[in-house]
Chain A
Amino acid sequence: MWDSAGIALGKFLDPFHLAMLLFGVLEGVCVGLLPGMGGVASVAILLPFIYNLDPHTAMAVMVGALAVVHTSDTITAVLIGTPSSSASATTVLDGHPMARQGQAARALSAAFLSSLIGGFIGVLALTLSIPIARPLVLTFGSPELFMLCLLGLGFAAFLSGEAPLKGIVSAALGMLVGAVGVAPSVAHYRFTFGQLYLMDSLPLVCVALGIFGVAEVVDLLAGGGKIAERMDLGKGWLQGMKDVVENKWMLVRGSLIGVWTGILPGIGASAGSWMSYGHAVVVSKERDRFGKGDVRGIIAPEAANNAVEAGDLIPTLLFSVPGGPPSAILMGVLIVNGIQPGPRMITDHMDLLFTIIWSFALANILGAGICLFLCKPLAALTSIRFAYLAPAFLITMIFGAYQSTKHLGDLSVMIGLGLLGWGMKRMGWPRPPFLIAFVLSNPTERYLWISVNRYEWAWLMRPGVLVIMGLLVASLIYWALTRKREAQGKAEAAAAPPAWRFTPKAGFTLGMFLLLAAATVEALRFPFYAGLLPLTVAIPGTILAAWQLVLDLRNPEEKKGGLDLGTSAEAASREGTRRAFRYFAVILGYYALMCTVGFRPATLVFLVGFLRFLAGAGWLRTGIYTAIVFGVLQLLEYSLAVEMPEGFWSVGF
């Protein structure tokens, strides 16, 4: 095996190869930067370019892009709280608050260094596990995978911060939204209301971009001013690097969790970064800063999500089962070149396997290196008035979300969930449980269904199942016990005399309750097996939402929030709320215009209108800005074969 490694290294150091790898990395970094275009998009886009390349070079390009997919997507996550791919949503939780506190450079450098090392550890683990990969993967059957999903969901509890009740309801809603589409158990369509678009579940990118991205952008706009209200001088990128060194064991653990979730097919990259974050919360003694700007909340998930891509290579290359959408494309490229992934990879194509491994390692270094250089200039963006940055971000988000399935429904999903996400943020409802539950909804149901169908209830006694269940229970108990101090504070608050009042907070809770109640009613009409999961989730969810409603009515001053940076005081004021609604109206108007006359005319109107009337820019600035934006869009369309949303009466330009 190791002589193949040597041969591959020789082939790999060929200058043309390295140039193609760099090309892939650059494309991955640039495209991954754009919200919504990370992940699959940046890899899919390369397909037309690799037609005539031999397999080794083609792999160099694709792996170059794949390896850095989760490096550059951190940038928007930190700066504007908008994940570029769903896995980077975890970084938003602590990265964005840090940016708001003026520590953007620190957050970014910690993230990039973690990504680099995480990816490296991932590749190392990948290489070392090749000999034992097959038996390793085969030990995990559907029951064990179900338990892992449950573990992931359990972690949602840790991410509810001080509001576990709201966290559970949030997760319940997330699971129901994840159930939209065809049921894994019986071919029945749930919550689709006759819409063809909804038959295929909501695209993950649109959900993540909506709940975190749009919500965050509107919130920043409503607050007025800049991303970072104060610049913390002296806490720059060097500090970020120091943080990584200080937390090296967390980094290593996070990477290993990441590789592990990658190796197991069916769990997904985002689950890996959430589990890594969850583990960071559980094992840390001081948890108060999580969600408010704790650098460990960046290190763990960032290491994990790069490691996941490395781990993904195992099922993809050794089992012919893609670990995730980007790996599916990689697999496709191999097959088109006549190389069938599977057990034969080790016997017939070991050298190609190593080319892929070396490419991955080098791409991680290059990608992180490039991004590290960009830390300072990127951090400088946080000192610009956000109203200037917002239109460009919104346009790229809309554009990026549209690439999911190239259907206007993608945008409806994103904007709709943006509204929900903003409401949740304002009213102190934690959003991470929603996203985790959304991601894990289908896999959990699928594996439970298969387990029960195949083994009836005997699967509960399997050793793997018991071990993971033990881990889950132990983590929950440990976490609950170490929360004693906060519980005392709560008891005091509860002892205060009730002051029944209907506040906006209660109103929002009422809305959540109604949503869950409606889902319950709808789910009652599903055939038995299709309705099982929705009802199991919706009924308790509705009851808990009702309980929360009672609490909100009773103690309107309760300020406890979720593990999500609360809204700034400015944005939370009445004026701020009014501004937020105004911005939503603007976005909806843009969307409606796009649906009628198409992307370009709508964008022109939106851009000019926003800059002039909402950002107060002069004509000169507006003109230059618009020209640059259109220039970039043109470039993207020309070089990357992306599609612009079309309207019903597209004005043809």
Chain B
Amino acid sequence: MKITLTMLAGLLLLNPVGHVAAAADFYAGKTIEVVVPFKEGGGTDIWARVMAPYLQKHIAGNPKVIIRNVPGGESIHGVNQYMARAKADGLNLIATSATQAFHVFLGVKAVQYDFAKLKPLLVNPVGGAVYVAPSTAVKTAADLLKPKEKLVFAGMSPTSLDLVALLAFDVLGMDVKGVLGYEGRGPARLAFERGESNIDQQTTPAYSSTVAPLVKAGKAIPVFSFGQMNDAGELVRDQAFPDLPDVDEAYAILHKKKPAGAAWEAYKAFNAAAFAVQKILWVKQEAPSESVKAVLEAVDRMQKDADFLQKAEKALGGYPALRGDKLEAAIQKTYNLAPEARTYVLSLLEKKYNTVVK
């Protein structure tokens, strides 16, 4: 049948020619399956698909790396299924985003996964910044408390990644009306462009392609970045936005002192999961050590691969791909949210955004 031949030809022609596999390579002749608990075309899906060919190229033995999308159940189902069914043989990996971490933080009952049972292999930070419309007459972070018109933020669900923005506004003491319910960051950004909202946030890959042109045309004014949590537990400036103050600095500008208190602790906790370690590729803890070693070594090689760096720069916003083992302790710490932070956020959600998390 014509179709089979064409497709077979496609498969053969289009697969990269790998290095010759050494006899002892764990992954020689094998296939790695990466579960992506999101639909095709989403941010995590794109991240996994950018990484996959490079993993294939650099993991000793050149295993085939395929992506399997398991969307559903608010992106919880795929992870639940992975925890319950995936074998710990080093051939079954999963890619998650901060969304899954937030579900754990907020105590969503449907969560049946436990990140302590997973080992991180590859981590990608992401960055983000907040910008306003010229109509607000806000030129820098110093003006945020006295805008010319009421600040209106177009957001998705209050339990989505937008929660970090809401927490930032809360910490800074800004008066922002949240109009929530937009379908995604894209539609929310469109709302900004047509004047439905006048303050918005975007994360790195999207920011450079969709917001930077607006900034250049004078239609958007960046005011602060979310900042990145470093190993010492401090918030520092985001490398992608070197000229923007982070939330820490913005607070100091506005209130003339350093931030402290429940709102600040909550912000830092959620920020760490949402940015410093947003995208993580995991394997089960009990996976064979040779498989873990092989993937980690591949990450090292990827970091030196000029082709990958160039591609990642364009597709992912220029953050380095990091070895999971070096960040394992930090990740587990991040993912163990302090109960006070949880209480604070849940009460904020309930009082300000009419949301009760189930």
Contact = CB atoms under 8 A, between A and B. Distances in A.
Question: Real complex partners, A and B?
Answer: yes
Contacts of A47: 40, 49, 67
Interface string B51-71: 011000000000000110111
A301 to B, nearest CB: 25
Nearest to B16: A52
Given A52-B53, A321-B187, A328-B39, A454 B213 contact: no
A319 B186 contact: yes
Interface string B171-203: 000000001111110110111011111000000
Contact of B14 (A50, A186, A529): A50
B322 interface: no
Interface string A334-361: 0111111111100000000000000000
A17 interface: no
B307 to A, nearest CB: 11
Contacts of B213: 342-344
Contact of A454 (B157, B179, B315): B179
A49 B7 contact: yes
Interface in A541-579: none
B190 A639 contact: no
B331 to A, nearest CB: 25
A469 interface: no
Given A335-B205, A340-B209, A527-B354, A639 B3 contact: yes
B194 A141 contact: yes
Contacts of A321: 184, 186-187, 189-190
A449 interface: yes
Contacts of B190: 137-138, 265, 315, 319, 321
A617 interface: no
B208 A340 contact: yes
B10 A23 contact: yes
A329 interface: yes
Nearest to A631: B1
Nearest to A326: B41
A184 B180 CA distance: 8
A627 B205 CA distance: 49
Contact of B72 (A50, A197, A330, A340): A197
Given A44-B40, A342-B210, A529-B354, A52 B15 contact: yes
A635 B4 contact: yes
Interface string B1-31: 1111011101100111000000000000000
A139 interface: yes
Contacts of B262: none
A490 to B, nearest CB: 42
Nearest to B354: A186
A344 B205 CA distance: 13
A620 to B, nearest CB: 23
Interface string B39-50: 111100110011
Contacts of B139: none
Contacts of B206: 320, 340
A23 B180 CA distance: 42
A187 interface: yes
A181 to B, nearest CB: 9
Given A196-B110, A197-B72, A344-B213, A450 B182 contact: yes
Contact of B45 (A332, A527, A529): A332
B73 A332 contact: no
A325 interface: yes
A405 B180 CA distance: 26
B77 A454 contact: no
Nearest to A405: B72
Contacts of A196: 72-73, 76-77, 80, 110
Nearest to A410: B72
A410 to B, nearest CB: 10
Contact of A265 (B6, B187, B205): B187
A405 B71 contact: yes
B254 to A, nearest CB: 26
Contacts of A385: none
B179 A450 contact: yes
Interface string A175-199: 0000000101111110000001101
A15 interface: no
B1 A26 contact: no
B194 A341 contact: no
B49 A527 contact: no
Interface in A304-331: 315, 319-322, 325, 328-331
Interface centre among A44, A47, A140, A197 (most CB of B within 10 A): A47
B356 interface: yes
A329 B208 CA distance: 20
Contacts of B310: 338
A196 B81 CA distance: 12
Contacts of B159: 187
Interface centre among B66, B209, B310, B353 (most CB of A within 10 A): B209
A497 interface: no
Given A336-B315, A407-B77, A343 B14 contact: no
Given A26-B3, A328-B40, A332-B46, A139 B194 contact: yes
Interface in A42-95: 44, 47-53
B110 A30 contact: no
Contacts of A337: 315
A635 B357 CA distance: 45
A346 to B, nearest CB: 10
Given A137-B190, A188-B356, A182 B157 contact: yes
B256 interface: no
Contact of A23 (B6, B53, B69, B158): B6
Given A266-B183, A342-B210, A49 B67 contact: no
A34 to B, nearest CB: 12
Contact of A341 (B16, B49, B158, B209): B209
Interface in B301-358: 310-311, 313-315, 353-358
B70 A406 contact: yes
Given A320-B186, A336-B50, A342-B210, A639 B7 contact: yes
Given A138-B190, A141-B194, A342-B213, A187 B357 contact: yes
Contacts of A529: 354
B46 A187 contact: no
A454 B178 CA distance: 9
B114 interface: no
B276 interface: no
B151 interface: no
Given A200-B73, A343-B210, A406-B70, A40 B14 contact: no
Contacts of A302: none
Contacts of B52: 51
Contact of A197 (B1, B8, B77): B77
Contacts of A331: 41
Nearest to A445: B181
Given A185-B181, A187-B357, A639 B209 contact: no
B215 to A, nearest CB: 12
B194 A325 contact: no
Contacts of B193: 138
Contacts of B157: 182, 187
A488 interface: no
A285 to B, nearest CB: 39
A322 B354 contact: no
Contacts of A332: 40-42, 45-46, 49
18 contacts: A40-B40, A47-B49, A49-B7, A51-B14, A51-B52, A142-B191, A182-B74, A196-B80, A200-B72, A265-B187, A321-B184, A328-B41, A332-B42, A338-B310, A338-B314, A340-B208, A446-B181, A453-B181
Given A49-B11, A51-B14, A189-B358, 15 more contacts: A26-B2, A27-B7, A52-B15, A137-B190, A186-B353, A199-B72, A315-B190, A321-B189, A328-B40, A336-B50, A336-B315, A338-B310, A450-B179, A453-B181, A639-B7
The 8 closest A-B pairs by CB, nearest first: A340-B209, A338-B314, A328-B41, A321-B186, A332-B41, A196-B73, A138-B194, A342-B209
